Amino acid sequence: MGHVIVTGFVSLDGIVTDPDGAGGTPAGGWMFRHGPETVAGDKFRMGELMDSGVLLLGRTTWELFSRLWPNRTDEFSTQMNKMAKVVASHSLTDLSAFPNSTLMKGSLTGYVRSEPRTVVVTGSLSVIRELQAADLVDEYRLMTMPSILGNGERMFGPSDTPVDLRLASAVQTGGASLATYVR
């Protein structure tokens, strides 16, 4: 099994709902309120993982990304389009809109346990929650925005099992902070 990394935009109060506004929620678009330097480029410091790893996405995030990335030609977008992508979906059949995408076969936890490459999960809260429940997340790279939203889905839901992580790094990126937590 490869390393499993969860990346995500998180509000100061832990909300992950609708960071880009695509969901049309009243508070949506909160990640863009802190300047373009906060969200531009390789904000989660994936670097070489874009060549050697695999991006694991749920259906909703894949659909959003398939409308966003293929139309861009900057360096990061080109890397995102070239990166291997696996989609956890029972309803999608045509993945041609987003290059290098394949459907996951079998169960989510079975796939992750058998994948030798580093698996990066972005967005896709239902996928993250299933991996958290199976204790399969090795690292979190969380971009915390200085917004307090009050309500919405949180990165970490209720759990019967506490998890202790170690802060590996914390850097300011524009108006936000990127913290990396590892086992």
Question: pLDDT tens-digit profile of 98-146?
Answer: 999 999 999 999 999 999 999 999 989 999 999 999 999 999 999 999 9
User: Is the pLDDT at 38 greater than 70, yes or no?
Assistant: no
What is the DSSP secondary structure assignment for residue 76, as one 8-state letter? H
Tokens of 172: 């300011």
Report, in angstroms and rounded to the nearest whole number, the Rg of the chain calculated over CA atoms: 16
DSSP E strand stretches across 25-80: 54-58
Phi first, then psi, for residue 109 (nearest 5°) are -65, -35
Cβ neighbours of residue 19 under 8 Å, at least 6 residues apart?
Answer: 9, 28, 29, 30, 31, 145
Higher pLDDT, 2 or 16: 16
Query: For 68-108, what is each residue's pLDDT tens digit?
Result: 889 888 888 888 889 999 999 989 989 999 999 999 999 99
Say how far apart CA 165 and CA 137 lie, in whole Å.
Answer: 11
Tokens 């894949």 appear where?
62
The pLDDT, as a whole number, for residue 46 is 75
CA-to-CA distance for 55 and 77, rounded, in angstroms? 14
Give dist(CA 150, CA 2) in Å, integer: 35
Average pLDDT over residues 22-41: 79
The CATH code of the domain at 4-182 is: 3.40.430.10
Between the alpha carbon of residue 154 and those of residues 79, 88, 130, the distances in Å are 29, 20, 14
Tell me if 44 sits within 8 A of 141, measured CB to CB.
yes
Q: Which residues pair with 15 in a beta bridge?
A: 154
Q: Position of tokens 């293929």?
A: 70
Q: How many helices (H) and strands (E) does the chain have?
A: 6, 8
What is the pTM (predicted TM-score) of this model?
0.92
